[in-house]
Amino acid sequence: MTPPFGHGGPAELRARLDAELRERIEEAVDFVCLDALVRSRRARGLPAPAADHPADREEFTQSVHDFLELLGAQIAGALSEEEAPRGDVQQLVAVQVRLAGELPDYWQRFEAIGASYAGETATSRGERRPFLQRLFGRG
């Protein structure tokens, strides 16, 4: 009879759980960042982002990186300097996977930070442009 988790035992199970967790985190980050981008565009009177538009993809990718850095900084306050999240998106997600596995309230923290990020991004981007336009006489 084959063990229910394959031949790798606990190590294989841990890898499968980490892969599932990584996928869930990536989906949640995408949702937060897309929501923030749409809100920001709406606040500025711009059309929604389009997946096939290179500038929109670049803005979304930057938003993902920025949110992951913010998330890491706010959730990972207990990490040492060497463990602190930095680097590319994959490294930042790997830190989140580890934190999600270690912190019992990870998803509550994620939700709170995500809601704040989406609201602040829309507000700051929505207000910044008109203020600067008025300052420089363009609005």
Q: What is the pLDDT of residue 73?
A: 86
pTM for the model = 0.75
Instruction: Supply the DSSP string of 61-97, one letter for each residue.
Output: HHHHHHHHHHHHHHH-TTS-TTTS--SSHHHHHHHHH
Asked if 20 and 87 touch (Cβ cutoff 8 Å), the reply is no
pLDDT tens figures, 21-78: 999 999 999 999 999 999 999 998 999 888 889 999 999 999 999 999 999 888 877 5
The rounded percent of the chain whose pLDDT value lies above 90 is: 44
Least confident of 10-14, 15-19, 125-129: 125-129
pLDDT tens figures, 67-120: 999 998 888 775 666 666 677 899 999 989 989 988 999 999 999 999 999 888
Asked if 96 and 72 touch (Cβ cutoff 8 Å), the reply is yes
Asked if 75 and 99 touch (Cβ cutoff 8 Å), the reply is yes
> In 3-state terms, what secondary structure has residue 132?
helix
Q: Which residue has the tokens 């306050």?
A: 77
